[in-house]
Structure 1
Amino acid sequence: MLQRIQSVFLLLAAGNALGLIFVFHLWVTNDETVIFAQDKLPFFLAFLASGALSLITIFLFKNRKLQFVLGRLNIILNFFLLGFFVYLSLNLSGETEVSEKGIGMFLPIVSIVLLALANKAIKKDEDLVKSVDRLR
């Protein structure tokens, strides 16, 4: 059911988590080395898990409750990833390792917004089905 709006939001969230990490860098070190998400294994695995979870959620359109729960889990995963980026950027003193923060640190925010919109649409579908079942 790719014509549903939540599928579009989930596909955009998966594209954000799986595609844009190769485009936008996370930070630049003091010696001008650009660090992408694939250069650091924990970040890469977290982005991979978020994208895979979004893709899996698209194809669970027959089970809206599970789809909603997986969307929430994906939001929590992105909050942890965002929290780790904030901790990393605020905890470093001066110019120890990170010279310039990149826009790639804000990719989890985009995913969170898209996943929240998808969950809102899933909830709307579930409420519609419940209201139709009440009428029968």
Structure 2
Amino acid sequence: MIQRIQSVYLVLAVICNGALPFVFHLWKIETNAIYFMSDITYTILFGLSTSLALLSLISFKKRQQQFVMNRLNIILNLILLGLFVYRTLNLSGDMPVISEKGIGMFLPILTILLLVFANKAIKKDEDLVKSVDRLR
């Protein structure tokens, strides 16, 4: 069923990875805001994460497959977060060029939280179905 709570979490994860990177910048160098589209690696990882969350949302009848796809998506977002941290550590603050970090770098953390909540709800549904099967 598409109206389950994990579907809401997955829709929010799709929005967080699919739409919000266009709105929030990753970092700003002087007056130029750098969005995720400036680097092909970030674009690919955000696209893969969005498509994986969307695919997980569509496969709502297969809870185990949905659970595994969400775990893969969590790993993908951890890789994306690691790349952001690496890039942040390479942006030096001592240079005459003023650089500041943007809020777009925290989008993978929000997505990971949403995917963890979705996995908890999927696990709860799976346990409920197993308990009903035992009663039969």
Q: TM-score range by the shorter chain?
A: over 0.9
Partner of 1:17: 17
Tell me the TM-score normalised to structure 2 length.
0.93
Provide the C-alpha distance between the structure 2 equivalents of 1:22 and 1:93, rounded to a whole number of angstroms: 25
Is 2:81–2:105's contact at 8 Å kept on the other side of the alignment? yes
Matching residue's letter, 2:75: I
Deviations 1:44-72 (A, max 9, x none): 11111111111100111111111000000
Partner of 2:53: 54
Matching residue's letter, 2:99: S
Provide the C-alpha distance between the structure 1 equivalents of 2:120 and 2:22, rounded to a whole number of angstroms: 29
Q: For this pair of structures, how many residues does the alignment match?
A: 135
Partner of 1:126: 126
Q: Cα distance 1:34–1:81, how it changes in 2: closer, same or farther (>3 A)? A: same
Q: What are structure 2's unaligned runs of at least 5 residues?
A: none
Shift of 1:95: 4.5
Shift of 1:98: 7.1
Matching residue's letter, 1:11: V
Are 2:92 and 1:90 aligned?
no
Q: What are structure 1's unaligned runs of at least 5 residues?
A: none
Partner of 1:43: 42
Is 1:27–1:98's contact at 8 Å kept on the other side of the alignment? no
Provide the C-alpha distance between the structure 1 equivalents of 2:75 and 2:129, rounded to a whole number of angstroms: 27
Tell me the TM-score normalised to structure 1 length.
0.93
Provide the C-alpha distance between the structure 1 equivalents of 2:119 and 2:58, rounded to a whole number of angstroms: 14
